[in-house]
Amino acid sequence: MTQKLLSVIALTVLAFAPSANAQIPPRVGGAEVPSLSPVIKKAAPAVVSIATKRTVQQSRNPLFDDPNFRRYFGIPDEPQERELQAVGSGVIVDAKAGYIITNAHVIEGASEITVTLRDDREIKAEIVGQDTGSDVALLKVAANNLADMPLADSSKAEVGDFVIAIGNPFGLQHTVTSGIISGLGRTGVNPDGYEDFIQTDASINMGNSGGALVDLDGKLVGINTAIFSRSGGNIGIGFAIPSNMVKSVMSQLIQHGEVRRGMLGVDINTRITPEVAQSLGLENTKGAFVSEVTSGSAADKAGIKAGDVITSLNGRTIPGPAELRNMIGMLTIGEKVEIGLIRDGASKRVTAVIGERTARAQAPGRVHPALEGATLSDADRGTGVVIQAVADGSPAARNRLRANDLIVGIDRQRITTVEQLRGAVQNRTSFAITIQRGNARLAFVIG
């Protein structure tokens, strides 16, 4: 056999050899693990398929709404609405109560939700509550003989741990893939949301959203929610919402039907650059620089001052402003937190009790149709109307509005409250809006 032929055979073998990534460990807890089948048999019955239906308005030229125009050009009448169907995944977390966790984006705008169980039973589900900020939704079904999945303590998860993803990619029910935890505390996937993602290389694709990321004990360590991909297919970078965040959100959804986020009362929009760190005498650029403290807020009562650098929250290091915002956003009103900070080069610790927002958020869509999907509330100190969240695909999103935008003006009128905003846009088909986005002030026409 020639050397050239041997080389071709070697390349062929390598091309079809199994990947060395995410090899199953030979022993776990002293016992041999020749297969993941026992774990899958334990966990899979709790994973469900979710099918949704929703009605959307079809966009078309306004001239088509004129019956004379249609008659003159012979254009037939067409329905202005059409029904869309979508599929995703979910996880039964309480068999007795019939609670199912999924992603908020899986059921967004759904008029009908059907859950298919492992035994092929199809059951209608109702929405208990949903939180677009964390992308978590809670459903409820009435059925007997359900199997649920216990929640793991995701704070104990470590990079390198083996995990299993179970879901319904492309409608292929109960597809199982395996991999490892590739990273923890990932942010920046959805800058408008509250993030603390688990990164995994277990294969996740369209339809896996809302499905389970399972540890080797058969417990739910995360809810699969997103992938990083340039083509739409899996490239080994997937993200899951950690189970501890899911548990926190679920508790509030059961209690209130929504997540009632508290506030610390600090302005932390300034990121610490190397120059700022040097001027403050800091060893590195980690932390959140406090540029302002709201009078009477939780931070004010705890003794936090402008110029402080918040470095930790309940013992967890704060890399930057985004991470602090995410962590505060997942705390409940009245919860005590221990805050580590640096002031004048010295380390300090204070205890704060998370306070209630100065104004309750207004429900989306109650101000103007063009702002539907935006959750609004009065900003502190009468500085404007803050957009707390924007639902994906909503009119507000299509009109270029984002979470954390501050609405400060409509046309030439200064806006300081939601009620002023409502009055300014009432009975208006279009209007000029002025917003503060970070350090930039933007103005554009909506409508």
Parse the chain into domains and list their residue ranges: 45-140, 154-256, 266-353, 369-446
The per-residue pLDDT for 124 is 93
pLDDT band at 306 (very low <50, low <70, confident <90, very high): confident
- Beta strand ranges found along 132-174 (DSSP E): 136-140, 162-167
Q: Which residue has better confidence, 365 or 118?
A: 118
pLDDT in tens, 139-189: 999 988 999 999 999 888 899 989 999 988 887 878 889 889 998 888 766
The per-residue pLDDT for 195 is 76
Taking 90 as the threshold, does the pLDDT of residue 21 lie above it? no
Sequence-distant (6+) residues with CB within 8 A of 101 are: 90, 91, 93, 136, 137, 138, 139, 210, 223, 246, 250
May I ask the CATH class of domain 45-140?
A: mainly beta
- Beta strand ranges found along 58-125 (DSSP E): 81-94, 99-102, 112-116, 122-124
The per-residue pLDDT for 208 is 84
Could you check whether 45-140 and 154-256 share the same CATH topology? Answer: yes
Catalytic residue ranges? 105, 135, 209
Among 164, 249, 252, 242, CA closest to 208: 164
Tell me which range, 2-16, 50-64, 76-90, is most confidently predicted by mean pLDDT: 76-90
pLDDT band at 192 (very low <50, low <70, confident <90, very high): low
Query: The domain 154-256: what is its CATH number?
Result: 2.40.10.10
The CATH fold of domain 266-353: Pdz3 Domain (2.30.42)
- What pTM did the predictor assign? 0.63
pLDDT > 90: percent of the chain: 18
The per-residue pLDDT for 8 is 35
pLDDT in tens, 261-275: 778 888 776 678 787
Asked whether the beta carbons of 129 and 178 are under 8 A apart, the reply is: no
User: What's the CA gap between 189 and 182, in Å, rounded?
Assistant: 15
Asked whether the beta carbons of 62 and 49 are under 8 A apart, the reply is: no
pLDDT > 70: percent of the chain: 79
CA 436 and chain centroid, separation: 23
The per-residue pLDDT for 48 is 92
Sign of the CA dihedral 216, 219, 222, 224? positive
Residue 356: both structure tokens together: 């209630």
Q: Is 369-446 a domain of CATH 3.30.70.260? A: no
Tell me which range, 11-25, 113-127, 260-274, 324-338, is most confidently predicted by mean pLDDT: 113-127
Taking 50 as the threshold, does the pLDDT of residue 15 lie above it? no
Sign of the CA dihedral 136, 138, 144, 149? positive
